[in-house]
Chains A and B, each alone.
Chain A
Amino acid sequence: MTVKDLTQRAKELMPWNWGKRPVRVHDQRRESKLPARREDVRSLFEDMFEDFFGRRFGDRWLAPLAGTTDLLGTDWPRVDLEETDDAFKITAEVPGMEAEDMEVTVGDNSLTIRGSKTTEREEKKKDYHLMETYSGSFHRTIPLPVEVNADGVEAHCRNGQLTVTIPKSEAGRKAVKQIEVK
């Protein structure tokens, strides 16, 4: 087999839609946020637009998050936070991880998820044609706006998705008051 054949084959392995959209490869060590290519500039503006208009940030959580990203840990896994009258529910996408790979801790007003995903790929980098998934260790801290009942926290990991339910404490439940509009 010639070198040309091999290159041809590598091309055939590319995803079906390869090249139609710019692929942004995640790099945790990336320090500079300056865009390098024109596509990056475009996607930067798209991100800005979406951040500004499209995302459903609750101001209550956004405020403490601002400017403290380094303290709050890595930028994966992605988390969603839901609130009901009695509890908070946090879900995170952790594909390929077992329950024992993760550690969930609750502080006074924050929840921390730690863990690590180990894959064999670090040693065998040269065999890869495409690398898009995340691996390595992570920690994320999510600030909670009211007092919670730390003893009642439950965490489940199923089908690559982590769900943490955090019941509010009695005081926390009373912290939000419904005001009747007359």
Chain B
Amino acid sequence: MAETKDIQKKRETQMQRGVEPTQQGRVFLPPTDIRETNESIVLTADMPGVKVDCVNVTLENDVLTVRGTVAEEHRSDPGAAYAEYEVGNYQRSFALSDEIDRDKIDARMNNGVLTLTLPKTRPSQKRIEVKAG
């Protein structure tokens, strides 16, 4: 173990109990950054191998779900001589709070990175001036 590279493995998506997948293969959790600004929450998910038209973002009962299907051309040969990663689809869900404006969610896909901008209904952080005296 020590002599091989300490490569972070892809984490697999935990499927809900009693739900059968309709497609073969493994499903991975895309590594995600979540950043908050004054006006919005920005979510970036790394989904290499996923084309623009293969991303599906759904919002159901306050749960935002991101799904990505890897294009056939990016699937590697199972007989690879040396494999550090496996290719599979991506899926991850996030719980949304009430402060997100659901109608104005913006999704962009660029170079295998999905960027979701979730605008807040009102700016949440207010700076309170501290006065002397």
Cβ-defined partner of A95 (8 Å) among B7, B46, B79: B46
Decide: B1 and A48 in contact? CB cutoff 8 A. Answer: yes
Residues in B7-28 with C-beta less than 8 Å from chain A? 7-9, 11, 13-14
Decide: A67 and B3 in contact? CB cutoff 8 A. Answer: yes
1/0 per residue A41-74: CB within 8 Å of B? 0001001101110011110111001110100100
**Given the contacts A75-B5, A96-B46, A80 and B111 also touching, CB distance less than 8 Å:** no
A174 within 8 A of B: no
Main secondary structure of the interface of B (DSSP, over half): loop
Residues in A77-106 with C-beta less than 8 Å from chain B? 78-83, 89, 91, 93-98
> When chains A and B are docked, how far (Å) is the Cα of A9 from the Cα of B95?
11
Whole-angstrom distance between the Cβ of A53 and the nearest chain B Cβ: 12
Q: How many residues of A contact B (CB 8 A)?
A: 62
Decide: A80 and B80 in contact? CB cutoff 8 A. Answer: yes
Decide: A161 and B36 in contact? CB cutoff 8 A. Answer: no
A-B contact pairs, 28 of them (CB 8 A): A1-B125, A1-B126, A9-B124, A13-B34, A13-B36, A16-B92, A16-B93, A16-B94, A24-B8, A51-B1, A52-B1, A55-B83, A56-B83, A60-B81, A65-B3, A72-B5, A78-B84, A80-B85, A91-B76, A93-B46, A93-B49, A93-B112, A128-B36, A130-B33, A133-B33, A160-B46, A160-B113, A161-B48
Chain B residues near A (Cβ < 8 Å): 1-9, 11, 13-14, 29, 31-37, 41, 44, 46-51, 63, 71, 73-74, 76-77, 79-85, 92-97, 99, 110-113, 124-126
Chain A residues near B (Cβ < 8 Å): 1, 9, 12-17, 20-21, 24, 26, 33, 44, 47-48, 50-52, 55-58, 60-62, 65-67, 69, 72, 75-76, 78-83, 89, 91, 93-98, 121, 124, 127-134, 157-161
